Structure 1
Amino acid sequence: MTLVKEAHRSRTATDPAPGQVAGKRAWAAATALRWTALRLLALVVLLAAWQAVVTAEIWPRVLVPSPADVWHAFVQASTVHDGVRGYSGHLLVEHLAVSLRRIGVGTGYAALVGIPLGLLIGVLKPLAVVLEPAVTFLRTLPPLAYLSLLVIWFGIDESPKIWLLVIAALPPIAAATAAAVRGVPGDLVEAARALGAGPGSLLLAVRLPAALPEILTGVRIAVGVAYTSVVAAETINGVPGIGGMIRDAQRYNQTDVVIAGIIAIGISGIVLDALFKGAERLTVPWRGRA
């Protein structure tokens, strides 16, 4: 009992005081507020510079519309006005939702193939010798390089778009998984072998959990790659879709609509990346800890 009391007294002595905890929280809140203010200031400066360029008429208004013009296009594409529903009969959020669905499906299929492929490449050296160059070859190809071939094979409907996003997202996932599996500490693998773990158990119960943080990072990167490829995927019969909307507006020199679509892609990308980071923290809370 005496030892328990001593331990409790020692722990209490080393714990931070309530005032210190409150001070740290207040300092963290003030720091977050300062960073938010800095971001807002940078946004204001950017908009002011943009408006100054438009006012100076350095370029024609059709090429560089004002922030107000872009905001008007954003509102027009997001609402029903004069009997017209958004842009090309679909609201901006509907265009964005269709593109996000395509990205989700393409990245999902890429993960289903890329994670097992990366595990095998990371574990089996002969397979790595054969498949790693193919993964690198696909990773270096720009999406437009094989879009025409996919259209010839699958037509102009949904299939070539999904296939393009799968091919774009698969290499980052496979490469990240293979590198993560190879980076698993050797003493961890040897300890599992000493306890009688076979090849299958080593792969699924030791290597895969240890590599999971880097695998999730690879999936997150793959989503970004798929997002950058969606405009290329939707150049063919891409409406509804945010890339198709941008492509269609480009044909008619509607620069304000193009910029509004680009901003919508960027904002949704930031939100999506933040959601992935939150999912990583929930799924692998041990990441970054000893």
Structure 2
Amino acid sequence: MKPAAFDYHRPSTVDESVSLLAEFGDDAKVIAGGQSLVPMLALRIAVFDHLVDLGRIPELRGIRREGGSTWVGAGTTQATIEHSADIAGAVPLLARATPLIAHVPIRNRGTLGGSLAHADAAAEYPAVALALDAELQAASVRGKRSIPAGRFFTGVWTTELADDEVLTGVRFPVWSGRTGFAVEEFARRKHDFAVAGATAAVELDDTDHVVRCAIGLFGLGPAPQRASAAEAGAIGNRITDVDAEEIGRQATTDLETVPSDLHGSSAYRKRVGAAVVARAWRRASEEAAHG
């Protein structure tokens, strides 16, 4: 099939792009790398009268350190993130999640902001942003605002972004000290969307006690989720006393809306989820303890 007819707009600034969105309202849709939207347009799952292309806006691209955080422009490609030494050093969880996304040609075009705004529950970046308590920055003709990742993802392919807003960048806190990070997922085929996946971050003090941790889940609900109960159970304990398998069970026991489809039943996804959480926790804690 072919997309329905639309008018194509290619703004060169954020101000120009938000003006177009304000002018056309619900009839307009932004496109970044287009790796998710273009197939949906081609199949006419999505139909819009106006397409606003953000791909030629320089201010939406880049990586820079800002005090205790790292800012990544929403238009920064996944390939750029994958090969960035700055990201590998400051936001290891983001760097390690990136090679798991689809295939190289897709990462060459796909963007950080595109993945987050698309909000696929089985995607890696939303779970990373959620686990790290990232701040997502948005702009409209009404001004700019910062949205915590914990409030950004609201449901299946839906976010806190208003129809007239553009995601401009993401600020990731930089963890320091004795830290470890891991991303684990299970897919039917390499680079498919994950049946279940987990991100884990662990920080230890000098006595090997867990002082901070974060576990993000993807593929296990209508939106990415935090395993808050499992995190709370680990904090304050010596890392050698925390059982990875129990962390996996705690992370998945109370999940209520785990999908069931051709790739697996809800119960199957929960079992796989518990296993990938345990694996991610084990890797992250070993890295924190031993470097």
TM-score using structure 2 length: 0.19
TM-score using structure 1 length: 0.19
Q: Of Structure 1 and Structure 2, which has the larger fraction of its residues in helix?
A: 1
Bigger Rg, structure 1 or 2:
1
Q: Of Structure 1 and Structure 2, which has the larger fraction of its residues in strand?
A: 2
Q: Which gives a bigger RCO, structure 1 or 2 (Cα 8 Å, sep 6+)?
A: 1
